[in-house]
Amino acid sequence: MEEGMTSDGESHRLTHSSEAGQAATAAYEMLRETRDSAEEIVSRILAVKRQGLPKSQLGELVTQMFLNFVSLRQANRSILLEEDRVKADTECAKAPVDFAIQQLHNSTYEKNRYLKAIKACQDFKSRYPDIELVPEEEFLRDVPEEIKGSTASDDAHKLMIKRLSFELFQRKELCKHHEALEERKKSLLETIANRKKFLSSLPSLLKSLKKASLPVHSQLGLPQTKKLKQHHLSELLPPPLYVIYSLLAAQKEAFDDDIDVEIEGSGKDAQCFARQQAMNDCGTSSNLEKSRFEDDAPDDDDDGQKMRKRSKKVPGGQHLEKAIFLEFHPLKVVLHVYDDETLDKKSDKLICLLFEYIMKLNVVCVGIESSDERLDDILCNLFPDDDGLELPHQSAKLAVGDKPMFNERKSLRPYKWAQHLAGIVFLPEVSPFLSGHENSSGEITGSIDASNIHSMHRLQNRVPTILERIRTRVKARLAHISA
C-alpha cells in the first residue's frame, strides 16, 4: 500500500516538476522577448532625438516601454516563484537522502561492532595455547599406567588432563637428563682447562729439554739447531733472497755440491721490517718522510743566521737520500764456494759471496767477502756486458735519477745474473734488433738474436752454470797470481 502511494506521489511530483519546468522556460522566453523589445524602443527613442522628429512619437514609445517594464516584473516574479519551488522540492528530496545516510552509518557501526566481537572471539587464548602435546595415539601407546589410570576414552576433558600430565612427566625427565649433561660438560671443561694449562707450559719444558740436549748435539755433531735457526731466518727473507737461498740449498742437497749456504743478519730487525711492511700494506704507512720534512722546516724563533746555517746542509740531505735508496734488508745470504776437484771436501775454500737486497730499488747486489784485493773484480763481466756498475732495470734508474750508486771501488754490485737468479725478470732497455746493422740485402741483423737472449737468460738463471764460471775464473786468477 505504501509502495503504491509512494510511486503515485513520485509520478505526480515528476509531472508537476515537468510542468513547472515548462512554465520557467516560458518565463525565460518572455523575459528575453521583453528585453529585446525594450532595446528596440530605446533605439527608436534615440533615433527620434537624433533626427529631430516631432515629440508626439515619443509618448507612444514611452507607453510601450512602461508596458515592457510590467512584463519584465511579471517574468521576474515567475522566475523567483519557480526558484522557491525548486528549493522546496530540494528540501523535500533531502530528507530521504539524510535518512539513507543515517541508516548507512548505523549499518557501518553495527558491522564494526560485529567484526570487533568476531576478532575478540578469534583472539581468545585458552589455558593451554602454547603446549604442543604428543598425538593421542602416541599418548595411549607410551603413557605409564600410573598416569593412564581408568579414564574413559569418551571423556575429552579428563583425557586432556591426562595428556597434560604426561607432558609434564616427559619434561621433568628431560630436565633431569639436561642436568646430567651439564655435569658432564662441566667435567669436560675442567679436563680441557687442565690440558690447556699443560700445553701452555709445554714450550718452556721443550725449551729446557732442548737446552739440556745441546751438549749431546755438539758431541754427536748434529747441526739440527743451526738448521732450525736457518729455517726460521729464511721465513723472514724477502722474496728475491728467498729464491736465491732455496735454489742454492736445493743445489747443495740434490747434487751434493761443494758449497755452503747460510743466512746472516739480525732476526729482530728483519721481524721489525716485516711488521712495518705489513702495516704499510694495511694502509698505515710510516711517517718517516713527514718527520724529515718537519725537522728541515724552520722554527718561528730562529733568526736569519740559523736559516743560513741550515741551508748549508743540503749536500748532507743528498747523501741521506742516497743512503735511503741504498738501504739493504737486515738479512743477507752468504755462499761459500769450495774447490770441487780436491779429494777432501771443504778443504780449500775458493770464494765467499754475499747476496744482499736493496728494498727501495728491488735490486739484488752481490759482493765478495774477502780481504784479498786480487779477487775484488772477479765477478765483473762474469757474463757478457754485465759489469754491475749500472742498475739492471729502468724503474730503479728512474727512482735514483742521475746520481751514481756504484763504482769500481765497490765489490757489492747489482749484476744482471744475480737478478735472474733471484727471479727478478726485466726487459732490455733497447730491443736487440734495433742495435744491429743493415747487410747487403737490406735486412737488419742484430748482434744478438732472440734465441741467443733466451739461452743467455737460461744460463744466468741456472745455479750450476754460475758456480762453474765462478770456480773457473777464481782458479784461473789464483793460478795466474801464483805463476
In a domain, 262, yes or no: yes
In a domain, 303, yes or no: yes
Label residues 143-177 b or e (16+ Cβ within 10 Å = b).
beeeeeeeeeeeeeeebeebbebbbeeeeeeeeee
Query: Containing domain of residue 87, as a range?
Result: 2-103
Query: Are both 241 and 176 inside the same structural domain?
Result: no
Query: Are both 98 and 15 inside the same structural domain?
Result: yes
In a domain, 359, yes or no: yes
pLDDT of res. 349: 85
**Residue ranges with strand state E in 145-236:** none
pLDDT of res. 405: 77
Measured distance CA(289)–CA(280) in Å, rounded? 14
Query: Are both 33 and 172 inside the same structural domain?
Result: no
> Treating both helix axes as pointing N-terminal to C-terminal, what angle do 463-482 and 450-460 enclose, rounded to 10 degrees?
80
pLDDT of res. 301: 40
Query: Are both 288 and 415 inside the same structural domain?
Result: yes
In a domain, 290, yes or no: yes
Query: Are both 92 and 178 inside the same structural domain?
Result: no
Structural domains in the chain (count): 3
Query: Are both 98 and 8 inside the same structural domain?
Result: yes
In a domain, 293, yes or no: yes
Query: Are both 399 and 274 inside the same structural domain?
Result: yes
pTM for this entry: 0.49
**β-bridge partners, 363:** 358
Cα dist. 7→13, 16, 85, 91, 393 in Å?
A: 10, 14, 21, 19, 112
In a domain, 271, yes or no: yes
Query: Are both 474 and 418 inside the same structural domain?
Result: yes
How many CA atoms lie less than 13 Å away from 16 in the CB half-sphere? 11
Cell numbers that stand for 41 in this block: 524602443
Measured distance CA(336)–CA(258) in Å, rounded? 8
Sequential DSSP letters for 431-467: -GGGG-EE-TTS-EE-SS-HHHHHHHHHHHT-HHHHH
Query: Are both 58 and 193 inside the same structural domain?
Result: no
Query: Are both 177 and 286 inside the same structural domain?
Result: no
Query: What is the chain's length?
Result: 483
pLDDT tens, the chain, 483 aa long = 444 444 455 555 555 566 666 766 777 788 788 888 888 888 878 887 787 777 767 777 777 888 888 888 888 888 888 888 888 888 888 888 999 999 999 999 999 999 999 998 888 776 666 677 878 788 878 787 777 765 555 677 788 888 888 888 888 999 999 999 999 999 999 999 999 999 999 999 988 988 888 787 777 766 666 777 888 889 999 999 999 999 999 999 998 888 999 999 998 999 998 888 888 877 654 454 444 444 444 444 444 443 333 444 444 455 555 566 778 999 999 999 998 877 665 567 889 999 999 988 899 999 998 766 777 788 888 888 888 888 888 888 888 877 777 777 677 899 999 999 998 887 766 665 555 544 444 444 444 455 565 566 666 668 999 999 999 998 888 888 876
In a domain, 439, yes or no: no
In a domain, 109, yes or no: no
pLDDT of res. 429: 66
Q: What is the SS3 assignment for 356? A: strand
